[in-house]
Amino acid sequence: AKPTIFVITPTYARLVQKAELTRLSQTFLHVPQLHWIVVEDSPHKTPLVTDLLVKSGLTYTHLHMPTAKDRKLQEGDPSWLKPRGVEQRNEGLRWLREDRRAQPGGDNQQGVIYFADDDNTYSLQIFEEMRSTQRVSVWPVGLVGGMKYERPVVEGGKVVRFHTGWRPSRPFPMDMAGFAVSLKLVLANPEACFDGEAPMGFLESSFLQGLVTMDELEPKADNCSKVLVWHTRTEKPKMKREEALQAQGLGSDR
């Protein structure tokens, strides 16, 4: 059997949430052996996400973990000020460690973990690339870091450096969308998680540092020459007319 891909997605309530999760879930429907772990940034599971998951046709686990108030980005803050989705990704890892320990049989440690934000764009091919991950696999990410793409540079089949516009000296100067980790490695390193206090740009490194070294990285996507995932960001919809209707008592709450 193919190894299962466990996809951990942090998500939070906003106007575009249902649209994002609809697009994402319909991409995942095309991927065999995928288990979606959706972690709401919320003090409780919301009906919107519950309903969407029930109707999705996917194998999923629905979790929630609110971001601590002092860690949460406030309206008007620049987006780089605080890392987003940290507690949610860690909650997904906690659930996996717990669940996989409890499962009987020897097959339950087979699998690959991928962190998929709800607004990115994923080619189906990237899932087949990551499925053979032994420890940590890596590939390019498009439209990120103020560049067309960032990527690991491969020489002689090994990652030797990173093509990135900013602080290439970081241990792993990669976006969250640019790597996958084997379940076995995560289970063997029970302390590995994302450090929300890590300096800007070091979130991915805070997790990967305890798991691998650069020369152990497994390059995918044709020696990291193909872009198969994009760090797209959705524009915040304007609600000028909606607000005018609300003021007249004619607004919709949906």
- Which residues carry out catalysis? 204
Does 117 sit near Mn ion (CB under 5 A)?
A: yes
Q: How far is the CB of 44 from Mn ion (least distance, A)?
A: 23
| Sheet strands (E) in 94-236 | 112-115, 121-122, 136-138, 141-144, 147-155, 158-163, 179-182, 218-219, 229-230
Angstrom CA distances, 105 to 102, 110, 145, 147, 152, stand at 10, 11, 43, 46, 37
Please identify, using beta-carbon distances, which residue of 162 and 218 lies nearer to ligand UDP.
Answer: 162
Q: Which of 25, 56, 88, 164 binds ligand UDP (CB under 6 A)?
A: 88
Q: How far apart are CA 200 and CA 132, in angstroms?
A: 31
Instruction: Work out what residue 12 binds among ligand UDP, Mn ion, none; the CB cut-off runs from 5 to 8 Å by kind.
Output: ligand UDP
Q: How far is the CB of 9 from ligand UDP (least distance, A)?
A: 6
Does 175 sit near Mn ion (CB under 5 A)?
A: no
Cβ within 8 Å of residue 66, ≥6 positions away: 41, 42, 43, 87
Q: Which of 4, 24, 56, 117 binds ligand UDP (CB under 6 A)?
A: 117
Question: Residue 212 in contact with residue 171, Cβ under 8 Å?
Answer: no
Does 119 sit near Mn ion (CB under 5 A)?
A: yes
Q: Are strands 121-122 and 179-182 parallel, antiparallel or unpaired?
A: unpaired
Does 84 sit near ligand UDP (CB under 6 A)?
A: yes
Q: Name the residue with tokens 């599971």.
A: 45
User: Of 105-113, 114-122, 194-202, 215-223, which segment contacts ligand UDP by CB under 6 A?
Assistant: 114-122
Does 204 sit near Mn ion (CB under 5 A)?
A: no
Q: Which of 24, 38, 85, 130 binds ligand UDP (CB under 6 A)?
A: 85
